[in-house]
Structure 1
Amino acid sequence: MPRLALKSLPGLSLGALLAVSVLSSAQAQNANQSATDEIAKYRQMLADGNPAELWEMRGQELWQKKLGPNQQSLEQCDLGKGPGVTKGAYAELPRYFKDTNKVMDLEQRLMHCRMSLQGLTREQAVKTPFGSAGNPSDIEALVSFLTAESRGIKLAISTKHPAEKQAYEIGKKIFYYRAGSHDFSCASCHSVEGQRIRMQDLPNLNNKANAQAAYSTWPAYRVSQGEVRTMQHRLNDCFRQQRFPAPDYASDSITALTMFLAKSADGAVMNAPALKR
């Protein structure tokens, strides 16, 4: 029910007008809550058969498959816990890597391993970062598998190394940086309680519980897109909606922003790939 303009009902007393206004506001809130509840029920209904499992299986095959000019698998890729160790690795990313002397997130690190181990060029290593119908992404599949290897494990994001601390501070600045045609920042949508866009609740990422719930469920299978989407894709889409230029894939700025978001969600139990609308 739309909110009624007070001047449109001249026959009613001020008390009655106020009652109508309060009633319409309550009805709108109830409608919003009802929509939120229905979305939650829908997700729960599909949770036991999350299509992301197909991406996870394909990702595991790609991890073990010998590819590239060097005909090597990725099984010796060091994600931070030693060559080939996948269990719990995602829960500690982004992190500083001594061999590259930089902080890397999962997608950056995968790109590095595909080049250094398999001999791919950078162009080949980042080909099709985001899949579409009939054009699947190897990267999204690999990320799905590696993320699932941290399911049930708590995020433990380090900022002890100076490079990690620097990445966190840069990511924080990016989160609050306002620019573009709409003068938006990440914080414009994600630093206030109770904000919504259409039927979607916007989590306040300054609230630790909200930050944990949001971060720990990415990547996710997007029902509306029929694809698993990584954190890189999620952030790219946020920049698009802010009318910012699209960031380069696996750029240091995206890693820094991911570091800020991951650290804000520190201690959350990973539950990804999840299922989202």
Structure 2
Amino acid sequence: MSVCLMLTLSALSSVQAQTANPSSSDEIAKYRQMLADGNPAELWEMRGQELWQKKLGPNQQSLEQCDLGKGPGVTKGAYAELPRYFKDTNKVMDLEQRLMHCRINLQGLTPEQARKTPFGSAGNPSDIEALVAFLTAESRGMKLAISTKHPAEKQAYEIGKKIFYYRAGSHDFSCASCHSSDGQRIRLQDLPNLNNKTNAQAAYSTWPAYRVSQGEVRSMQHRLNDCFRQQRFPVPDYASDTITALTMFLAKFADGAVMNAPALKR
């Protein structure tokens, strides 16, 4: 794994060296395509499946009876319909909120244990990111189908929309500051215009993703938390309703996209 990662990073450095080339975005796309068949996220997916089936916690239960919205234990296509309203909690939940709920109620973990190490690092892997990778892959090739029929779903969407356009912080930024017009970029990274449905679909359908620069699979929770950090906003609590609402807004606007995650990112 370490040798593979070193080769991957070396390849990325080669691509990044082409900053003077106006076609650098095309070169990065070619690089991603070359690595697509060997995406390291597959390792996270396999570990996530093992964790899904493993009996853990005080109750010594697996997560195989966790209801992600399509019935207990049904994983195929579940992620493509999240976030969604859950009657048993009377709230809209995204994947990571729902996983916390199942780990607490099925396996008997405390809330602190259920949210421990949400984001992995070198030598400190995250069980949550592995579970997210597995469950996301279970919707690969399926169309995103996000409901806003329930009043709570509609409310979450509207709150998420307000968050997306809300400007504040030391830089007077919002999510829309970087993601509401064409042609914006940070260094080599193109910033998708999420007001364009095609762009929104391409962006949303490829998260979670294996990030070569970090050597980890990163979930949508991590991506959005990092955006708040870069805006100089207070970072929301892990699995907060704030993140779920923003995810609902982004997911609904990307409705109909074919899921291709976990993908590969810089």
Q: Do they superpose with TM above 0.5?
A: yes
Q: Distance in 2 between matches of 1:201 and 1:46?
A: 19
**Within the alignment, does 1:53 sit opposite 2:53 as a pair?**
no
With the length of structure 2 as denominator, give the TM-score of the two structures. 0.92
Q: Is the 8 A contact 1:32 1:199 kept in 2?
A: no
Q: Distance in 1 between matches of 2:21 and 2:256?
A: 30
State the match for 2:69 in structure 1: 80
| TM superposition shift of 1:140 | 0.2
Superposed CA offset, 1:129-150 (max 9, x none): 0000000000000000000000
State the match for 2:220 in structure 1: 231
Match of 2:27 among 29, 38, 57: 38
Alignment partner of 1:103: what SS? strand
Q: Is the 8 A contact 1:189 1:202 kept in 2?
A: yes
- After TM superposition, list the pairs within 5 Å mapping 1:8-47 onto structure 2: 31=20, 33-47=22-36
State the match for 1:179 in structure 2: 168
- After TM superposition, list the pairs within 5 Å mapping 1:180-195 onto structure 2: 180-195=169-184
- Measured at CA, do residues 50 and 99 of structure 1 come closer, stay the same or move farther in structure 2, by a change above 3 Å? same
State the match for 2:138 in structure 1: 149
State the match for 1:3 in structure 2: none
**Within the alignment, does 1:137 sit opposite 2:126 as a pair?**
yes
State the match for 2:93 in structure 1: 104
**Percent of residue pairs identical:** 93
Alignment partner of 1:48: what SS? helix
Q: Distance in 2 between matches of 1:31 and 1:207?
A: 28
Q: Distance in 2 between matches of 1:113 and 1:181?
A: 38
State the match for 1:68 in structure 2: 57
Gapped regions of structure 1 (runs ≥ 5): 1-29
- After TM superposition, list the pairs within 5 Å mapping 1:242-253 onto structure 2: 242-253=231-242
- After TM superposition, list the pairs within 5 Å mapping 1:192-211 onto structure 2: 192-211=181-200
Q: Distance in 2 between matches of 1:171 and 1:116?
A: 27
Superposed CA offset, 1:111-166 (max 9, x none): 00000000000000000000000000000000000000000000000000000000
State the match for 1:164 in structure 2: 153
With the length of structure 1 as denominator, give the TM-score of the two structures. 0.89
Q: Distance in 2 between matches of 1:41 and 1:264?
A: 27
Q: Distance in 2 between matches of 1:225 and 1:46?
A: 16
- Aligned-partner residue type, residue 135 of structure 1: N
Gapped regions of structure 2 (runs ≥ 5): 1-18
Q: How many residues align?
A: 248
Q: Distance in 1 between matches of 2:259 and 2:225?
A: 22
State the match for 2:211 in structure 1: 222
- Aligned-partner residue type, residue 182 of structure 1: H
Alignment partner of 2:217: what SS? strand
- Aligned-partner residue type, residue 81 of structure 2: E
Q: Is the 8 A contact 1:66 1:72 kept in 2?
A: yes
Superposed CA offset, 1:196-224 (max 9, x none): 11110000000000000000000000000
Larger Cα Rg: Structure 1 or Structure 2? 1
- Aligned-partner residue type, residue 160 of structure 2: G
Alignment partner of 1:228: what SS? strand
Alignment partner of 2:38: what SS? coil
